[in-house]
Amino acid sequence: MIAALAYSVCALALVSMAWGLVTAVLDKPPGKAQLLYAAGLEVVVLVQSVIALVRLGAGFRPVELATTIGYLVGIVVLLPVAWFWANSERTRFSGVVLAVAAAAVAAMTFRLLVLWVAR
């Protein structure tokens, strides 16, 4: 985990969450820019997980290894699943679905950062 990257992921995810809630309040399905933003967020999340997994492969051992690996893998599937679920019925609640996934990404990234301490 790189602290600067992790904080960036948190910030980007919180924007995505707020965006989803805004379109929900405005009673609109997510727009194209919003969906592209979520896809971009997913790319950054992927990069972060790959970097962290490579470091684990190189021998870094955090306090809770199994939990860390679980988070690094689990965080990658959230946005794609939410994307599919949000688009299969496009209403204001699609934005809420994206917001839920984005909030989870932010929370999990923060937790990963806390766990990333050498044993």
Partner 1 sequence: MSTARDPQPAAPRTSSGPGRALVAVYGLFALAATARGVTQLVTQYAEAPLAYVLSLVAGIVYIVATVTLARGTATSRRVALVAVTVELVGVLTVGTLSLVDPEAFPRATVWSAYGSGYGFVPLVLPVLGLLWLRRTRPQPATSASTSSSSSE
Provide the β-strand partners of residue 62.
Answer: 118
Which pair of structure tokens corresponds to residue 54?
Answer: 């490579």
Report the alpha-carbon distance of residue 109 to residue 80 in Å, rounded.
Answer: 17
Stretch that binds partner 1, among 10-18, 44-52, 55-63, 83-91 (CB under 8 A): 83-91
Residue 26 in the binding site for partner 1 (CB under 8 A): no
100 in contact with partner 1 (CB under 8 A): yes
Shortest separation between residue 34's beta carbon and partner 1, angstroms: 16
Beta carbons within 8 Å of 96's beta carbon, 6+ residues apart? 20, 21, 24
* Helix, strand, coil percentages in the chain from 3-state DSSP, rounded to 5: 80, 0, 20
81 is a contact residue toward partner 1 (CB under 8 A)? yes
Q: Which stretch binds partner 1 (CB under 8 A): 4-12, 40-48, 51-59, 100-108?
A: 100-108
Q: Which stretch binds partner 1 (CB under 8 A): 30-38, 39-47, 51-59, 95-103?
A: 95-103
Residues contacting 23, CB < 8 A, separation 6+: 29, 30, 31, 34, 92, 94, 95
Is residue 79 part of the contact set for partner 1 (CB under 8 A)? no
The site for partner 1 (CB under 8 A) is made up of 66-67, 70, 74, 77-78, 81-82, 85-86, 88-89, 91, 93-94, 96-97, 100-101, 104
